[in-house]
């Protein structure tokens, strides 16, 4: 028995499913999850001493790889001064300034602790601002685990085959309208029938695997929201600071009314944000009447790590390297899998592999992919020293620490896995 086996057995007696976030349990691919001892740049090392090229990178949070020195040092220095104050700090203002400077549509921003909290708060604000109830989301897009946004979610919910979840009331679900991603006509039909407060969308979904927006789809959402008085929310918890300093919205040239951020902006610490138009954000308490609060919002250690990360982005922009590395990895995978039906979707450095006969453009086509085949591929790559997302419904993530040696190792593992 490995140490991971032993730890998992111990964990299952204490923690539901043995993990603190469902996809980590390997239910989507089978087998025993690897318990991690440490991360080193592009690598993970498990408690049994196995070293893996890591294509999860804390689900996209580690843009510069694990334990980047400048980020770790900034967090340590901040912790030495105190870990939480429940009062404002200068560093919070500096992080807000950097976010506003980087993200095109954000005029004001509020810091929170998680992507779930950011999306939940943005939706509440949109409802308060518009005095309407209905939220439009897309099947397969995951915006955290708040009640109203779990309807037909992707990611962990997709992995477990759960269409929603017990514990969410019919009343809560009634105000969430779900449309297929990339189906603008379905969204128009919802707008024709219901009084919509907001549309929330991942501009590049990465929670049903990576799915690319069809030409004109995001612009169509922008026009629908503008003409109806609804707000457009871009969930950039994954794409923010990963597809570019200004996120997906900078890349596609479309300005949402509100944006949610997380992962990269916290440098691996629990730190997230939502922001947007000043007139909308000013409805938040204490300026306005829409309440939102958090004891650990703007936590000084997380803020310090976030500031160090955004400073690195400015000093050492990683995006050209990331995109080139992603293209090379996808080319290597494509060559290794040439004899098998497969699809690789990529936008910038975000990509994922589907064992599918046809294109994957929405949740339904993602579900039709051969996820059993993905499970076998996952374990073959794991045995060869490459750690992939343990679900066919997740994006794959690179860091600036992935170089020639890691790219070659991924290609070799894919080629020799049989």
Q: Which domains does the chain have, with CATH numbers?
A: 3-63+318-416 (3.90.1150.10), 69-315 (3.40.640.10)
**In the structure, what pLDDT confidence band is assigned to residue 298 with cuts at 50, 70 and 90?**
very high
**pLDDT at residue 165, as a whole number:** 64
Structural contact between residues 60 and 242, judged by C-beta atoms closer than 8 angstroms? yes
| Average confidence (pLDDT) over 317-325 | 98
Per DSSP, 33 falls in state: P
Catalytic residue among 46, 263, 319, 374: 263
- Residue 214's CB: how many other CB atoms inside 10 A? 14
In the residue annotation, 367 being an active-site residue is answered as no
End-to-end CA distance of the chain: 25
Give the chain's mean pLDDT: 94
Instruction: pLDDT band for 162, please (50, 70, 90 cuts).
Output: very low
Separation of alpha carbons 165 and 370, rounded Å = 24
* Among 54, 235, 257, 362, the one annotated catalytic: 235
Per residue in 74-128, pLDDT (tens digit) is: 999 999 999 999 999 999 999 999 999 999 999 999 999 999 999 999 999 999 9
Lowest mean pLDDT among 44-48, 145-149, 353-357: 145-149
Contacts of 316 (CB under 8 A, 6+ apart): 400
Average pLDDT over residues 256-285: 97
pLDDT computed for residue 187 by the predictor: 96
**Does pLDDT of 315 surpass 80?**
yes
**DSSP 8-state assignment for residue 68:** -
Query: Are 273 and 264 spatial neighbours (Cβ–Cβ below 8 Å)?
Result: no
- Position 152 confidence tier, pLDDT thresholds 50, 70, 90: low
Catalytic residue among 43, 52, 142, 363: 142
* 331-347 tens-digit pLDDT: 999 999 999 999 999 99
Task: Work out the pLDDT band at 326, boundaries 50, 70, 90.
Answer: very high
Least confident of 24-33, 72-81, 234-243: 24-33
SS3 content of the chain, % helix, strand, coil (to 5): 45, 15, 40
Return the higher-pLDDT residue of 349 and 145.
Answer: 349
Among this protein's residues, is 235 annotated catalytic? yes
128 Cβ neighbours under 8 A, 6+ residues apart:
283, 288, 289, 290
pLDDT for 168: 72
Please say whether the beta carbons of 74 and 308 come within 8 A.
yes
From the list 392, 360, 364, 365, the residue with the least C-alpha distance to 376 is 392
- Spatial neighbors of 82 by CB under 8 A, at least 6 apart, are 300
Q: Residue 42 contacts by C-beta under 8 Å, 6 or more apart in sequence?
A: 53, 54, 65, 66, 399, 401, 402, 403, 406
Indicate the SS3 state at residue 386. strand
What pTM value is reported for the model? 0.95
pLDDT at 418: 54
Determine the Cα–Cα distance for residues 232 and 88; give it in Å rounded to an integer.
Answer: 29
Residue 41: DSSP 8-state: B
- What is the model's pLDDT at position 146? 79
Please give the Cα distance from 377 to 385 (Å, whole number): 12
Question: For the purposes of burial, counting CB atoms within 10 Å of the CB of 314, is it exposed (0-12), middle (13-18) or buried (19 or more)?
Answer: exposed
Give the number of other Cβ atoms within 10 Å of residue 293's Cβ.
11
Rounded to 10 degrees, the C-alpha dihedral 109/113/115/117 comes to -80
pLDDT at 412: 96
User: What pLDDT is stored for residue 157 in this prediction?
Assistant: 41
Q: Is the dihedral of CA 123, 126, 132, 135 positive or negative?
A: negative
Per-residue tokens: 249: 């919205």
Rama region for 160: left / alpha / beta (φ>0; ψ in -120 to 50; rest): alpha
348-393 tens-digit pLDDT:
999 999 999 999 999 999 999 999 999 999 999 999 999 999 999 9
Which string of b and e fits 26-37 if b means at least 16 CB within 10 Å?
A: bbbbebbbbbbe
pLDDT, residue 158, reads 41
Residue 184 burial (CB count, 10 A): 18
Query: Pick the residue with more confidence: 278 or 150?
Result: 278
Closest CA to 153 of 189, 185, 115: 115
Q: H helices of 163-260, where?
A: 170-174, 184-193, 217-228, 247-252
Whole-number pLDDT of residue 148: 75
Please determine, for residue 161, whether its predicted confidence score (pLDDT) is greater than 50.
Answer: no
Per-residue confidence (pLDDT) for residue 151, from 0 to 100: 60
Using a pLDDT cut of 90, give the percent of the chain over it: 91
Which residue shows structure tokens 């294509």? Answer: 55
DSSP-derived secondary structure for 324-359 = HHHHHHHHHHHHHTTTS--EEEEETTEEEEE--SS-
């Amino acid at each position: 028995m490995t140490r991971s086996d032993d730890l998992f057995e111990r964990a299952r007696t204490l923690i539901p499913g043995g993990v603190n976030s469902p996809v980590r349990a390997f239910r989507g691919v089978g087998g025993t999850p690897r318990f991690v001892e440490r991360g080193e740049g592009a690598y993970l090392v498990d408690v049994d001493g196995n070293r893996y090229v890591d294509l999860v990178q804390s689900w996209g949070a580690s843009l510069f790889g694990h334990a980047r020195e400048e980020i770790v040092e900034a967090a340590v220095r901040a912790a030495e001064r105190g870990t939480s104050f429940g009062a404002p700090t200068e560093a919070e203002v500096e992080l807000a300034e950097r976010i506003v400077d980087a993200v095109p549509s954000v005029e004001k921003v509020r810091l929170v602790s998680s992507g779930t909290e950011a999306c939940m708060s943005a939706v509440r604000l949109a409802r308060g601002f518009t005095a309407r109830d209905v939220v439009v989301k897309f099947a397969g897009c995951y915006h955290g685990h708040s009640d109203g946004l779990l309807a037909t979610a992707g990611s962990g919910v997709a992995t477990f085959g759960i269409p929603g979840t017990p514990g969410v009331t019919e009343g809560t679900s009634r105000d969430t309208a779900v449309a297929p991603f990339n189906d603008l006509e379905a969204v128009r039909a919802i707008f024709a029938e219901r009084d919509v407060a907001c549309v929330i969308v991942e501009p590049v979904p990465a929670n049903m695997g990576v799915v690319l927006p069809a030409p004109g789809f995001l612009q169509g959402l922008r026009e629908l929201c503008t003409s109806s008085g609804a707000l457009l929310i871009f969930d950039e918890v994954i794409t923010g600071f990963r597809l570019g300093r200004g996120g997906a919205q900078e890349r596609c040239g479309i300005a949402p009314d509100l944006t949610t951020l997380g992962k990269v902006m916290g440098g691996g610490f629990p730190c997230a944000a939502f922001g947007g138009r000043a007139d909308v954000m000013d409805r938040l308490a204490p300026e306005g009447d829409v309440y939102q609060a958090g004891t650990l919002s703007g936590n000084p250690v997380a803020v310090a790590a976030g500031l160090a990360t955004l400073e690195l982005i400015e000093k050492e922009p990683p995006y050209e390297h990331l995109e080139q590395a992603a293209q090379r990895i996808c080319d290597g995978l494509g060559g290794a899998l040439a004899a098998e039906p497969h699809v690789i979707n990529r936008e910038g450095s975000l990509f994922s592999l589907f064992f599918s006969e046809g294109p994957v453009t929405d949740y339904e086509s993602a579900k039709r992919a051969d996820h059993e085949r993905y499970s076998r591929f996952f374990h073959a790559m794991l045995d060869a020293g490459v750690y992939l997302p343990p679900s066919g419904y997740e994006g794959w993530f690179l860091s600036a620490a992935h170089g020639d040696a890691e790219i070659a190792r991924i290609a070799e593992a894919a080629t020799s896995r049989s």
